[in-house]
């Protein structure tokens, strides 16, 4: 049984050739090449899982932002904003709108509200585009994780598949 194994990854790009990952092992002298490859695949899969969870948490936060922004958009459209300071602070501080886009005092005329609505709509469209890109990133991470885990599992099976082999890899 191996007490501890450190697997380091270094990126190597030879002149005029594709970059490759080089792995070095400290403490795993008893590992077979198949076990090392399985460990690398499983570790990569776990890292991609963590990245996808972080990305999904970020997406959940963005959904809440979009909900709040849509609520404020509705208030602006129906001229029912009761606390402009709160709305303005959200638009500026959270969405990053400028003081020109979210002025200190709301002009409640149609044109004044329309100007703020238009700026908010542009920010919401940017957030929506970002959410779509984030979803594609998550799908890609999950797909890559699945490939890593499948490859790692196949390598474990091909090295004997016994519980001892699996335990020594992990």
Position 8 confidence tier, pLDDT thresholds 50, 70, 90: low
Determine, yes or no, domain membership for 32: no
Position 154 confidence tier, pLDDT thresholds 50, 70, 90: confident
Determine, yes or no, domain membership for 71: yes
| Sign, CA torsion 124/130/133/137 | negative
Position 158 confidence tier, pLDDT thresholds 50, 70, 90: confident
Start-end of H helices in the chain: 33-77, 84-89, 110-158, 163-169
Determine, yes or no, domain membership for 35: no
- The gap between the terminal CA atoms of the chain, to the nearest Å, is 11
Question: Model confidence over 78-121: pLDDT tens digits?
Answer: 999 999 999 999 999 999 999 999 999 999 899 999 999 999 99
Residue 37 confidence (pLDDT)? 77
- C-alpha 4/C-alpha 8 separation (Å) is 13
Number of domains in the chain: 1
Considering the entire predicted model, what is its pTM?
0.63
User: What residues contact 118, with CB distance under 8 A and at least 6 apart?
Assistant: none
Question: Model confidence over 15-71: pLDDT tens digits?
Answer: 777 766 666 656 656 666 777 777 778 888 888 888 999 999 999 988 899 999 999
Question: Model confidence over 107-117: pLDDT tens digits?
Answer: 989 999 999 99
Query: Exposure of 37 by Cβ count < 10 A (0-12 exposed, 13-18 middle, 19+ buried)?
Result: buried
The mean pLDDT value for 3-15 works out to 64
Determine, yes or no, domain membership for 34: no
Q: Residue 97's domain spans which residues? A: 44-158
């Amino acid at each position: 049984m191996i007490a501890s194994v450190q697997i380091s990854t270094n990126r190597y790009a030879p002149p005029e050739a594709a970059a490759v990952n080089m792995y070095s092992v400290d403490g795993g002298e008893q590992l077979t090449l198949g076990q090392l490859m399985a460990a690398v695949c499983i570790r990569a899969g776990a890292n991609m899982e963590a990245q996808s969870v972080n990305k999904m948490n970020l997406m959940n936060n963005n959904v809440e932002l979009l909900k709040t922004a849509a609520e404020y958009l509705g208030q602006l459209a129906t001229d029912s904003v009761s606390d402009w300071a709160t709305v303005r602070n959200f638009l500026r501080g959270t969405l990053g709108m400028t003081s020109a886009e979210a002025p200190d005092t709301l002009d409640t005329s149609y044109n004044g509200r329309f100007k703020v609505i238009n700026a908010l709509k542009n920010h919401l469209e940017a957030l929506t585009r970002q959410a779509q890109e984030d979803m594609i990133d998550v799908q890609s991470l999950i797909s890559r994780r699945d490939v890593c885990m499948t490859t790692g599992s196949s390598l474990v099976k091909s090295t004997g598949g016994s519980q001892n082999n699996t335990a020594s890899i992990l």
